[in-house]
């Protein structure tokens, strides 16, 4: 570990020199890339230097033991430093865990009704409301890109973008199948129904991260449907993009402008293609043990919302919360914090 820390500190000093070089500064793309790498090393270098200072202080305290006048003070300092050093070591281990490069990205989130008909669509609407309220507490910006509403107020599917600080790092563990157990309003016999909705959280990517050949994309325009104002069904402003090599489709119909809808659809298409590349890279790292938390398998049942018991259980970590209304009103930080902690513990075991 300490050789790795020495290498990190050396790289940090190299970057210090490069980001101050006028030639590098003149190339803004390179400079920004180096600045981002530099920022990612600041905390670990500061903590390593704190560790080295504590080690140095410990050696000095040992030397002071030979001085009768300073012996008591030296012993007190040694006790304090021997307690401090293991804590700093643990903090360094955590800081050395590779950061997910997507953590600071914005996201596109897709929620689709699964098994359960109208009740599944209503549950998809409940999840959208939950994430909307959570985004408000984080001061994130939410933009709906595409929606397919049902007559009862639910969604067959809804796609939206969240923009703000650390969006992906907070919501990346939400991908998967969410299951609800409750008595539908339409059920006269009071039987509990089980329905599902699928959530996919995709990082929004920049052009430099994924290259798409324009010739591979077929664009279709159509009239928007559903809620949206007077332009609905009057102008062909909705856009559908088909990536022909993969068959992936992305569409947007929420904006009045065809140009805006095409821009949003292209973002969604890039994010879906990036997700495929990311899954491919992850699967190629066969020697790396996968985390029990995971971030991508849409077929995995990750969480159950049991209304009769007022219980939300995440099956990946066996953690339950008994505050249904509070949770569905967007107060989901406790669940997210526990998922993040479990993922961190899993990664530490693999170090």
Residues 6+ apart with CB under 8 A from 156: 112, 113, 121, 124, 148, 149, 150
Sheet arrangement for strand 238-243:
217-222, 238-243, 248-252
Tokens 């643990």 correspond to what residue? 90
**Prediction pTM value:** 0.67
The pair of structure tokens assigned to 54 is 């504590």
**What does each of the 351 residues of the chain score in pLDDT, given as a tens digit?**
788 888 889 998 999 899 988 988 998 888 988 988 898 888 889 999 999 999 999 988 888 888 888 888 888 989 999 889 989 988 888 887 777 778 888 999 999 999 888 899 999 999 999 999 999 999 999 998 888 888 777 999 999 999 999 899 999 999 999 999 998 866 666 788 899 999 999 888 875 566 778 888 888 887 776 544 434 445 567 888 888 888 888 888 777 778 888 888 888 888 888 888 777 766 654 444 445 455 444 567 999 999 999 999 999 999 999 999 999 999 999 999 999 988 888 877 765
Contact of 133 with 122, CB cutoff 8 Å: no
CA 269 to chain centre: 18
Which residues on neighbouring strands pair with residue 251, listed in sequence order? 240
Question: DSSP characters for 163-222?
Answer: ESTTHHHHHGGG-EEEEEEE--TT-TT---EEEEEEEEEEE---GGG----GGGEEEEEE
Q: Which helix (H) or strand (E) holds 312?
A: strand 311-314
What's the pLDDT at 309? 94
Judged by DSSP in three states, 19 sits in coil
Supply the pLDDT for residue 293: 54
Q: Which residue has the tokens 């400079």?
A: 31
Partners of 223 in the beta sheet? none
Distance CA 328, CA 310 (A): 11
CA 168 – CA 201 distance, rounded (Å): 8
Q: Domains of the chain by range and CATH?
A: 2-96 (1.20.58), 107-208+299-350 (3.30.70.1660), 209-284 (3.30.160.20)
Q: Would strands 301-306 and 176-182 be described as parallel, antiparallel, or unpaired?
A: parallel
First and final C-alpha spacing in the chain: 10
Q: Residue 234's pLDDT is what?
A: 52
Distance of CA 197 to the CA centre of its chain: 19
Among 271, 227, 220, 331, CA closest to 110: 271
Which residue do the tokens 């990082």 mark? 203
Q: Give the HSE-up count for residue 191: Cα atoms under 13 Å, Cβ half-sphere.
A: 6
């Amino acid at each position: 570990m300490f050789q790795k820390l020495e290498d990190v500190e050396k790289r940090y000093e190299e970057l210090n020199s490069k980001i101050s070089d006028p030639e590098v500064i003149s190339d803004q793309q390179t400079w920004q890339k180096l600045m981002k790498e530099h920022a990612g090393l600041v905390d670990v270098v500061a903590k390593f230097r704190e560790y080295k200072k504590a080690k140095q202080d410990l050696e000095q305290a040992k030397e002071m033991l030979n001085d009768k006048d300073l012996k008591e003070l030296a012993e007190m300092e040694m006790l304090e430093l021997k307690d401090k050093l293991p804590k700093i070591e643990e903090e360094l281990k955590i800081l050395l865990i590779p950061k997910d490069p997507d953590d600071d990205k914005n996201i596109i989130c897709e929620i689709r009704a699964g098994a359960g008909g109208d009740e599944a669509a209503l549950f998809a609407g409940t999840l959208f409301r939950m994430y909307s309220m959570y985004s408000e507490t984080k001061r994130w910006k939410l933009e709906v890109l595409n929606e397919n509403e049902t007559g009862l107020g639910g969604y067959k599917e809804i796609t939206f973008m969240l923009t703000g600080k650390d969006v992906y790092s907070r919501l990346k563990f939400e991908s998967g199948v969410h299951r609800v157990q409750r008595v539908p309003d339409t059920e006269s016999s009071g039987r509990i129904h089980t329905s599902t909705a699928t959530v996919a959280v995709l990082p929004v990517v920049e052009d430099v991260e994924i290259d798409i050949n324009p010739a591979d994309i077929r664009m279709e325009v159509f009239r928007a449907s559903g809620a949206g104002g007077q332009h609905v069904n009057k102008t062909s402003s909705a856009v559908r993009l088909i990536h022909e090599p993969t068959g992936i489709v992305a569409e947007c119909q929420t904006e009045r402008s065809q140009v805006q809808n095409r821009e949003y659809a292209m973002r969604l298409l890039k994010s879906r293609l990036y997700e495929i590349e990311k899954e491919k890279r992850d699967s190629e790292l066969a020697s790396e043990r996968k985390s029990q938390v995971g971030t991508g398998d849409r077929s995995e049942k990750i969480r159950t919302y049991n209304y009769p018991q007022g219980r939300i259980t995440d099956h990946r970590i066996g953690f339950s919360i008994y505050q249904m209304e509070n949770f569905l009103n967007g107060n989901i930080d406790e669940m997210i914090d526990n998922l993040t902690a479990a993922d961190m513990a899993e990664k530490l075991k693999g170090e």
